[in-house]
Amino acid sequence: MENVFQSQHPLVQHKLTKLRDKATKPKKFRELIREIAMLLIYEATADLALDETQVETPMGIASGALLREKIGLVPILRAGLGMVDGVWEMMPGAEVWHIGLYRDEKTLRPVEYYNKLPVDPTVQVCLILDPMLATGGSAVATVDILKKWGAQRIKFVGIIAAPEGIQALHSVHPDVPIHIAAVDKCLNEIGFIVPGLGDAGDRQFGTG
Ligand code: PRP
């Protein structure tokens, strides 16, 4: 599907396999989320714009390039939080804007509970971070919020998607590239990705 990028990197696949393992404890789980996020962001940012510049080294002048656009990291609470640190290390100048959404257990529709975006957009590129793209409702709602805010470019970076989630996000927001480590088989009757990894929030925070 156009605008859907599934990582083929062996390190991503290796770490993803460890992440899925039900025996993986929260500490290791958080480390893996962080590491996979760093690898995925490397791929997701390959087309960021650069401004050419020059830099003075101890030996002379070198030509170089610096990021042109201001980047915003937008983790969807809670599970997206674990993807922030590693990505932020790669882009320490990024702003972090949290969006709080939870899925209503019955309707599976996202409910917004935290949004402190200022009136005008402060970044040009928004990178939404959320390990799970299940029905796609949370991702669609977050893109809606960011577009209304005035974000010019938005990308979704996740770890595991259900085909239903990819379809939902792509059909409502086809301009938003989806970067993902794996596309699984399906959703089950309670909206969990199968085989997936269980509840990414609970497994990170030890609340399962
Ligand atoms: C999970 C996950 C996504 C959402 C995906 O969060 O982290 O945000 O569900 O589902 P969707 O694609 O069907 O919207 P959850 O609502 O469990 O909240 P939590 O991260 O706070 O545990």
User: pLDDT digit string (tens) for 11-20?
Assistant: 999 999 999 9
Q: Which atom of ligand 1 is nearest to the CA of 165?
A: 12
Catalytic positions, please?
103, 107, 199, 202
* pLDDT for 26: 97
The values of phi and psi at residue 128, to 5°, are -75, 130
CA 41 from chain center: how many Å? 8
pLDDT digits (tens, 9 = 90+) for 125-145: 999 999 999 999 999 999 999
CA distances for 41 relative to 99, 140, 178, angstroms: 19, 20, 11
Scan for tokens 């610096």, then name that residue. 66
Could you give the CA distance from residue 48 to residue 68 in angstroms, rounded to a whole number? Answer: 8
Mean pLDDT (whole number) for 151-175: 97
Ligand 1 atom closest to Cα of residue 138: 14
Ligand 1 pocket, mutate which of 108, 138, 173, 207 (most atoms under 8 A from CB): 138
The predicted model scores a pTM of 0.97
Confidence class for position 78, pLDDT limits 50, 70, 90:
very high
List, in order, residues 6 or more apart from 56 with CB less than 8 Å away.
62
Per-domain residue ranges for the chain?
4-205
Cα gap 47→53, rounded to integer Å:
18
- The fold of the 4-205 domain, in CATH, is Rossmann fold (3.40.50)
From 33, 99, 109, 130, the mutation candidate for ligand 1 (largest count of ligand atoms within 8 A of CB) is 130
Residues 99-112: pLDDT tens digits?
999 999 899 999 99
